[in-house]
Structure 1
Amino acid sequence: MKKFFILLLKPFSFLPALLVMYMIFSFSSQTGAQSGNLSYKISHEVIVTADKILNKHMSEERIAYYTDKIHTPVRKLAHMSEYFVLAVCVSLPLYVYGLRGILLILFAGIISVGFACTDEFHQSFVAGRGPSKRDVMIDSIGAFAGIILVQFLCWNALRRSRSKNRRRG
Structure 2
Amino acid sequence: MLKLKKIYYLSMFCLLLWIIVIFSFSAQPVTESVGLSRKVGQKVSELFVPGFKELPQGEQEEFVQKIDFGIRKTAHFLEYMVLGIWWGFLLMPARRSVRFKIWTAVWASAACAAVDEIHQLFVDGRTGRWQDVCIDTAGAAVGILALFAIIQLIHRRKVKTCQKHLQS
Q: TM-score, normalised by structure 1?
A: 0.89
DSSP 3-state at the match of 1:89:
helix
The correspondence for 2:26, drawn from 5, 25, 28, is 28
Structure-to-structure mapping, 1:1-169, within 5 angstroms: 3=1, 5-6=2-3, 8-9=5-6, 10-51=8-49, 54-55=50-51, 57-169=54-166
Distance 2:35 2:118 in 1: 22
Q: Is the 8 A contact 2:15 2:83 kept in 1?
A: yes
Distance 2:95 2:78 in 1: 26
Segment drifting more, 146-155 vs 10-19: 10-19
Q: TM-score, normalised by structure 2?
A: 0.90
Distance 2:65 2:17 in 1: 31
* Number of residue pairs aligned between Structure 1 and Structure 2: 164
DSSP 3-state at the match of 1:40:
helix
Q: Is the 8 A contact 2:88 2:101 kept in 1?
A: yes
Cα shift at 1:49: 3.5
Identity of aligned residues (%): 29
DSSP 3-state at the match of 1:71:
helix
Show structure 1 runs of 5+ residues with no match. none
Q: Which amino acid aligns with 1:60?
A: Q
Cα shift at 1:64: 1.2
Cα shift at 1:8: 4.8
Q: Deviations over 1:47-99 (max 9, x none)?
A: 23345xx2452111211121111001000000000000111111023123344
Show structure 2 runs of 5+ residues with no match. none
Instruction: State the 4+ residue runs in structure 1 displaced beyond 6 angstroms.
Output: none
